[in-house]
Structure 1
Amino acid sequence: MELQTVRKKCKSSHQHTRFENSLMAFPSRMKIKFGTWLSCVWDFFEDVVLKTLSIKVDKWTKLVQNEDYRKDFLEFLEKRDRVWIGVLLLPSGQLATVFEPPSTSKNKGVFFFKREEEPVPKEDIKNLVTFGDLSALPLDQFGAFVDDIMDDILVHQDMATSWPKVVSGDVQSSMNKLKSEVYEITGSMKGRTLLPMPAGMEQIENETNVREVMGVIEGIVIKWAHQIKTGFKIFLDLKSSQAMLDGLFPTPHEELRFWSDLTSNLQCIYDQLTSPKVREIAAILQSKQSSYYDSLTMMYDDVKLSLEEARDISIHLKPLRSLLDDIEQTDLSAVEKKLGALLHLVSLIWATSDYYRHPAKIVVLLGEIANFVIDLTKTFIDGESIFKGELDESYDLIKIALKTLRSFKEMYFEYSSKLPQYFSKTGKKTVLWDFRPELVFHRFDRFLKRIELIEEFFLSSISMMNLEKVEIGGSHGSVLSAKVVQIYEEFQVLHSKIADAEVDPLEHEDSKFERFYMLFKNKLYDLDRRLGAVLCEAFEDSASVESMFKLIAIASSLIDRKIIGEDFNPKYKKLVQQMEVEIQQARELFENQRDDPPLYKNQPPTAGKIRWAADLLQRVKTPRERFFLLDHPFVKNDEAQLVFKKFDEFEKFVINFKDATYKRWVAQVDEDCQFNLTKPLLSRDAETKLMSVNFNPKLEAVLREVRYLGYLGYENLPTSAENLYKKDQTFRTWVSSLRQTVHWYNKIRTTILEVEFPLVESQ
């Protein structure tokens, strides 16, 4: 029954259906409470929202189905002090209610406003509630409201005649002031200085009218001067140099944006000052010989000069924009050449722009470029996860960053020194960057120092993580290796504390990382001391130069660490001393065995002696060559040089021995070849009648010598020996065949019976 009654009070069947759908969204207790007047009230809200926002009814239905939004409407209808409610279209496309106008909004909205603080009446809601648009640009909306509505109302002819002249004039004056302020603020919000025109200019018809508006004109000139001055101050406050002074870190984009915006604003002011209305004002002031004419002229000249400067700077800076965008899209590992191109452009700007050739300006730009490089580094390296990744991969990123940062600073000094070349092409007097580099790099240097600190951390971590692969030999190897494992495990715990810390090491203004690193460094100092003691003990336990060098190779990255190096450095003296001992041992062995050296199995005499001497020399030559790879002062002092001199002497003795042995063999090899090759291949014993292969052992020795000398690297052997060796395979084949034949012959000769002998005697 209640629903039927409600339908009768509504204006259309369409309203009935919409209301019924909306009403069904309310709980039953709300339907009862509102009674029959709810339909018209709700249809009023619905009609306004749908028509104003041009949306479909389903969005409105979703709004009223939300309990919180329904409560907002109930509160607006029932409470006295709730006089305003708005409905906004959210970016998601849904509707929402608000009780205060939003400070910013990208979409249009609608508001409902009570004219008086009281509940909404049951009879006619329109008598109490009005509505309007909520623009996404409220200031523009208010400006249009002032210009198109309030102005027309307040200056309406009927109203003007009904008001006293004083009241009408005062209202009109206030209205003009409001319009001017709205006009100015609207321009400021858009980054433009908009100059309001004096009211009444369109009514100037005679001398009397001119006298009446002269005061207004002169007042507006004063206002313009103050407005332009204030506008300049605002722009200067937005200048990137001011941002640096305020503790911000602008990039060249801010510098380009500043000069572009300043140029646009000055162009806007210049266009206004050259407009017909302002020319008319200037003509009036000049005709009346007003002192404000000079002020207006000076204002025009200042704006013109400032515009010329800003336009020149903006044009010269413009090429930087595309290069900056390109650099931002380039990986840091490939950005060095483009940074050089960036400094090249800056040098060109300095040489060609007379307005920008000022230390204060170029210092700001170079400082911003330094900030830009810092930002590139922070983009390339994720500071929050740099310690959580693989050590080698993270360290590679740090190396790339350091290389780029150092290269950029080097390029700055390079291009600074080449400035005369840029000026020589312009024909202008050379002006150098004679300011202190610290003005440009004060923040950059702190950031570079932080990256170097991070590099130090990674170098320490990588070298200590190598302990996992360290295995010490020798008589005490197992004990020392266990100590190394313990140190390694302690370092893992220490490293994990840094890796798991919630700190961004790239934020160099924050000292939190430095505090963490100092704790890390102090603990690492203790680990280095213990590790240095272990390595020194392992070195003392090494029995030969070769084992000493193996230890140095395994622990090379650890020995380079300062604390460990301080403990280990004295051990290089023992390394040199042990080298001297082994050289002396090798020399004594050489002297004792040179006449009858022990030969390897199957080695011929000459090649065997040469091989023995070469191996004896190699025993000390290998560690001697490793000394060349050591970059340590102790291996270059007089004591070490004396030991190396002993090696050189021993090497000379061995080489002379090898040469002499070879020459003795060469001297007799021709005779051995020629004499023994002329003998018959077979020989018979006169008594036993047995046969033997007559291939002289000296020929076999020559063949073996040639083969093994070839293995030792000897070339250009005697011709007779080489010719003999070329037939080596032939000799082997025939000698083997002959020996088999002789074996069969001798077997028959020695085993045949006497009575059988006549049968084979002829064969």
Structure 2
Amino acid sequence: MEFAPVGSLTIVGSNFVMADLPNGGEVAPPLVTTKTDARANGPISSAGTTQAPVSTTTAATTIAPTKSKIVGGDRQHEIARLAKALRDERRATIDPRHEYLFGRLAEAIGIEPSQVEDHILGDDKFDCIDDFFLAGGRRVLMFYYQESKNPEPNQPVYGRLANTGPKKRVMISTGDESMQLTGVLYYFVRPNQPKAITPANIVNEVVFGQLDASNGKMLESIDQLLANMLIPLFQQYEDWGALKTRSNINVQDFLDAMSQFTATVNGASDNIAHQVKLAPSDNDSTLSTLATPNDYQTMAQNGDFIIECEKLMDKWCKQIEKILAESEQIRREADDVGPSAELIHWKQRMATFNNLLEQIKSSRCRAVVGVLQSAKSKSINRWKDLDARITDAANEAKDNVRYLYTLDKFFSTLDKNNPNAIAENIPSLMNAIRMIHSISQYYNSSERMTSLFVKITNQMINTCKRYIKNGCSRLWDIPKQDLVNRIQESKKLNNEYQAYFHKTKGKLQESANERQWNFSENYIFGKFDTFCKRLDRIVDVLNTIESLSGLQNIRVEGLEPIVVKYRSVVDAIKKKSYDLLDHRKPDFDNDYNEFKSQIEYIQAQLQLFIDSWFRKSYTVEQSLLFLNKFQDLEGVKIDFGDKLSKLLQNFSKELDSVRKIYEKNKEDPPLSRNLPPTAGRIIWARQLYQRISIPIKLLQDKMDLSKTEDGRLLIKNFNKIAEALLQYEVLFYRNWERSIDLIKKGMEATVYIRHPETKEEYVNFDPQVLELIKDAQYLSKLGLDIPETATTLLRQEEQIRQTSVNLQELLNDIKHAYASIPKDMSQLFKPHREKVEEALRPGFVAITWSSLTIEEYITNVRQELEQLRILINDCTDILQCRIENSLQTIAEIQLCEPQNDPITLDEFSKLTDESCQHAIGSITKQALLCEKAVHYLLEILKKRLKPNEQTQIKETDSEYYDCALKSAMNTKGHVTRCNDCQPCAFFNFLTNYWNKNIDAIVQCTRSSLETIRKRLQQPIRYVGEEVIREQVRNPLFRTDIVLSIPNVLVKPSLDDMQSQLNKSANSMLKIGQDIPEWYHAQKLREITIKEIEKQALDEGEDVKLAVQAKAPKPLHKVIAENNDVKKGK
């Protein structure tokens, strides 16, 4: 965004022009006055001449006015037709851009957009709008909304001629025409001039605003625009293009110039508002016709007119006398008013008196004076005296303003800059004041110069206050060092100010021709000195608070009340709501005295606290550290002399105590938990040394021990104990170094070892290795040199520890895997366990702790173990879910399930037969499933064997699981297999689960018989001799009682029922005849019979009888002869 220079800002159309600044470009306000000519009511130009009336016709063609009737009606109609055609043509070119402008204007004015459109379409400057939209076109588009005597563009001809009164309308202005702005100015500004305005970007590229010039409010509108919008906006703006930030010097100068210009406009507006106008009269029209001495002489003959003129002059004289009296009164100003107020005051006086002079020189006043002079009125002498006084006052004000303007740039420096920058400009300021005092005609009095200096002092104080606060409402929120630095800079400004004042005063005293500065220095500098005294007290409070702030960090029992008191004192002074920098109010001085009194009380309490603390029993080190906590506080004023003497005696006793502890425990010192032996001993020795070294260092910092006999003896005893402790440390350190090579050999041992008796595996790790590593860690932290061997082990500590953990976890996992093998399959898993053992074997014979392949070794064993785990899980799942589950199902099958209600014998027989047939089917099915699962399990195990082991397992008729070791034996007709080879393990596993299959069928039969037995028996319980039936069950059989005279018979009889029960039981026991045997059972019978035949032949027995006696019994006989079944039966 670009801006016109402040010194050349022109407000067009308002008769307010700010030309180039006076005094070489310094900011100076225009002398705004109003001239009125008695003979014309038109505005006065800047040259003081009456302006001619200006036509404001804006129609396309000038329309000549008529007096009483319509002249040339056809011509008027033609003009109206052409104007309407022009408006229609322009209306056709309207697009959203025009509508946006019309809408903004209508919204701001408060009328309909169609009215704005009608006004503007008939304007002869309509092309300015199109030029505004072009790239590189007009930057500003202005519209006036004010009264105009021009007819409405769409009004009929006869209406225009009849209606000649002024109406408000919107008019386009270029800013350079003679049309005066008397209403409201609306403007559109395009900051980015090279960019064309389009319907899409008009909202973002065009800025809209207004200035209200009605009723002479133009300056007020400009002031509000600058003060309320532009300046706050610029002060918050961050992106200044090439100037980068708001802190740039050029940006600051621009903002200062804007602020100064705004103040100037505001002052000019106030001057205009407070102008005094000489009273009017009823004869103003007559006076306006008097211009020559002859006219005055003629009117002097009129006595009544002379009386009226004398009355008018008397009014004027009273008005002037009042103004002069007010100007001579002593001004009432605030105590802290700055020097800018002095310039504003004289500018106001200059505007007031210049206005009076202009009115006195007007034609109206000249006519009244001329008539009264011609009439030789007595009032003329009074007028002349007042005229001279007004002229002198105006000259005085003008002269003072002229000289004060030379100081205006210094006033801005005093208001805007920091104390250091102000101090740099003090020499120039003093020279300028010296020049004014020397050559000024009116402003060289002692009173006015003293007043000027006082105002300069006030401004310096105000600037220092603002600089010290830096936007903070509380001084306590500012960092202490920053606050102190600002205060020092402010005090430095006072010193520089007074120094250059005295320097300039001394130079004047050396020159007798110049006026001397006989000003009251106390009156000039008293406020600044008082302000600096206030600053000194503030700094003292800050330093005192900081010097004692360390009390809050001291953790000593019993100190809390003093700390609380300190905090309360600090909080009390920080919570004061008044302005600490207001040196005119005594509130802070009273609070400062109270603050110092409270601090003295805290000092006394600290002395009492320290005295009481030293009366308790503490070690020398604790006592010295306690003293250090308070000695480090700058704000604590305590005597520590007698305390140190007592501590010296206590330390001598402490040395003797340490010596006795060393002599008593040096062979077996008490070590902290988890400390290795060597490092623990060295740490113990160093702790003893630290116990005596810290106190003696603290004592040496506070006093010179070598100057006293007690001190020298103390040092001697200390050196003896310290030397013994050092030798103790060196001794154990050397022993530890020698043990490293021995411990290193432990790393060459194998990682696993077996117990010679129990053969249990263990991780073969020497705990001294970890002890050595731990010693190395502690000794390294203690600052001792570590040999390379120990350093290597130290670097490998994590690896060694992790390897040890991994090896132990490996053993645990192997044991857990072995324990998870089902007991019935232990022998089957023997070759698979041997694979793991084979992978594990190098750890017992070859793999050592220093081997590079130890990780690979653990990985290999892990892989074999994982294979074993998978096999165990697979076999366990098959065994539990398929084999054991089938056997459990067989055991739970019921061969007969009697109903709850009694049934007949025939029904029971039929029920038993049907249940047995159904049970035979279910048992057969489950037995086959179990057999298949067993063979599938063995097939899985067989596939995991080595090829040579697989060839040993044969299932042919001639070699059915023959023993690989050929050690099968026959004992009393039973074949016994070995427990070492896999064929025998397979054979035994099959035999075992065939037997379990038989056991399940036996369980099935026994439980069925048990069910029938329980149904036939009623549960009873005996209590003494009384029989109690716990539950009454329904009978199993339904019988009839038949009367057969003379007997009563039960049908069927008990014998029949018993016979049917026996028959049903036999049916249950014979189910084995219909259940097929496993293939293994058949092969087992064949092998057993062959063995029996062979044995009978060898022993000379009858083979047939031997086979009949010793051959395996069929399944139904095994069931029937089972003891449990017999009991159930």
Where on the TM-score scale, by shorter chain, does this alignment land: which range?
Answer: 0.3 to 0.5
Q: TM-score, normalised by structure 1?
A: 0.44
Structure (1 or 2) with the larger CA radius of gyration: 2
Q: TM-score, normalised by structure 2?
A: 0.31
**Structure with greater helix percent:** 1
